[in-house]
Chains A and B, each alone.
Chain A
């Protein structure tokens, strides 16, 4: 089946630093990837849609200058949390839509747990 990886799986950083999270589709091409964040005991909230070869589109209330997204190829999207602060600590999950899928099925990565001290 389709596999999506994320790296790193967890990261701890100091306040004010930037953190990059990678999302890769391993065995399929993903023209579109999505980034979600999940706070403890809460649901997933869509942050942005990452499109290969074009700018990401952000959901309302998500700061695009803080959460930089780059979709460099059909198998890789990166999320950079710039100048991270403790309130950015969360579980970040990416998903990738199989370009060959007829019904927008998404495959989710294992998630990255970010802790900002």
Chain B
């Protein structure tokens, strides 16, 4: 009964490096999203997907790419890391519109 699994849990990068944050869900949910959480701010939507092969931008998409080749997986790519991308990243999924989103435990990312 894993739910939403995110890897890695922690990562430190240097400015300019690239990396992929992994997200997998085992609930057969169509909708998946990526959020970032910063001190003093609510979680903000980066990118989302309504099904395999379909993605779109959220509120703060710059510097990030996503793809959705399967229902289960929704990786988030940082193309060229910047210190402003230091944050905690959460992946979430839900089975349809208006339904609760279920979150993973996050990836804590520091960019030096």
The answer to whether A and B come from one shared complex is no
